[in-house]
Each structure stands twice: as C-alpha cells, then as structure tokens.
C-alpha cells in the first residue's frame, strides 16, 4: 500500500465549535467513561502522525495539561471547521515548514479509525488526487480529511468569499475518498449521544 511518511503529516483535532447542543459545554473536556473526548482523540490520532495540534478558541490555558500547540481560528467568528483547518494549515506554514500535510479530525468522535491517516494517504496517492476525505456508505465525512499545507491561501480566499461547507470546498479539487463503516464516525453532539457512546464502550 502506497502511503506518506507520517513525519510529513500533522494531525489537527478540531475543538473550535460552540457545542450549543451540549449546553455550550467545552465538548473536548466532556468525559466518556472517565476520559475526556480530547484524550480519546489524542490516543487514537497521535500514532498516525508526526505531530499533533489542537484547534480551539478562547483561553488556551484550559488545555495546558495536554501539551499540544493550540491554534485558534484566525478568521471570522466561529465560521466552522474550515476556519479551524485554515488555522492548522497556517500554523504549519509559519512554524513547521518540514510538514507538508494536515490530517483533520473532530474532537467528538470517540471511535476514530486508527488507520484513518494511512488510508486517506493511500487513497490520495492511488487516485492521483490533491486531497482526501473519509466516507461511509457513500456519504462524505469531509471533516476527516488530509489537506496539503499549500492549500492555506486558497482556503482563506474561499472563507472570505463565504464558503463554509467543508464538502463544498473539498469538491473544488481532485478528491479521493476512503471508506469506513458508519460506526467509525459516530460523533457526540448531545447528552444522548454521550450516553449511546458509553453503552457502546
């Protein structure tokens, strides 16, 4: 299987949303069976990449115990995951020029695939694509994506022009898809989702 060297890839955990359906709680710090959702995301993503970043807004000190660079949205007022991805791409371009790719995942997916990055990279290389996103049963899961750092300027222009949909933005490029079952992308948006995840575990 062709893939990319993990040292060329940084992982970005997206935790910049308002989490209104969770009562505006800091979703990254919500616990599932005694472990925060952020800790679970770190455990699953860290072995897949050379470096980890966290996208979060507000006081970064609340995440100090995790030892990750915290990059806040640099554009707009909670413009969604695309703004978080831009923050990650911009940080890498300015601080880590040896890293060429960014793998994005949301913080609220406790069953994140442990082969996510390898499969995305393989699909991208196999299809000669510019970037790759996940899918399940034919439905795109574009927040789980592999993005070239060189895309930062294009993404900034798209956000300024009003683009907010990750799928819409990704669809403008040669796009590869890597498929998993739906269960891999179960995400926690509400207290009921949290209960469902606890039952599954």
In CATH, what number is assigned to the domain containing residue 29? 3.90.550.10
Question: Domain for residue 180, yes or no?
Answer: yes
Helix (H) or strand (E) holding 166: helix 166-170
Residue 1 lies in a domain: no
What is the pLDDT, as a whole number, of residue 26? 84
Secondary element (H or E) of residue 54: strand 51-55
pLDDT profile of the chain (201 residues), mean per 10? 84 80 75 94 97 95 96 91 97 97 96 96 96 94 97 97 97 96 85 86 77
pLDDT at residue 49, rounded to an integer: 98
- 25 is a domain residue: yes
Number of domains in the chain: 1
pLDDT value of position 57: 93
In this structure, is residue 34 part of a structural domain? yes
pLDDT tens, position by position, 128-167: 999 999 999 889 999 999 999 999 999 999 999 999 999 9
**Can you give the residue range of the structural domain that contains 82?**
6-200
Q: Residues near 83 by Cβ (< 8 Å), separated by ≥ 6?
A: 16, 73, 74, 75, 76, 159
């Amino acid at each position: 299987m062709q893939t990319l060297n993990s040292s060329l890839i940084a992982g970005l955990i997206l935790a910049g949303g308002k989490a209104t359906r969770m009562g505006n709680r800091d979703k990254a710090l919500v616990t599932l069976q005694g472990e925060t959702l952020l800790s679970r995301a770190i455990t699953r993503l860290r072995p897949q990449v050379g470096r980890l970043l966290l996208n979060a807004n507000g006081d970064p000190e609340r995440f100090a115990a995790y030892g990750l660079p915290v990059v806040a949205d640099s554009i707009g007022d909670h413009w969604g995951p695309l703004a978080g991805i831009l923050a990650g791409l911009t940080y890498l371009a300015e601080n880590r020029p040896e890293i060429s790719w960014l793998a994005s995942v949301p913080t609220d997916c406790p069953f994140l695939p442990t082969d996510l990055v390898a499969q995305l990279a393989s699909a991208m290389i196999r299809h000669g694509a510019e970037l790759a996103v996940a899918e399940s049963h034919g439905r795109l899961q574009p927040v789980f994506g592999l993005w070239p750092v060189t895309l930062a300027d294009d993404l900034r222009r798209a956000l300024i022009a009003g683009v907010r949909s990750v799928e819409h933005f990704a669809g403008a490029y040669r796009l590869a898809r890597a498929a998993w079952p739906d269960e891999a992308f179960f995400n926690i948006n509400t207290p009921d989702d949290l209960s469902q995840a606890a039952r599954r575990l």
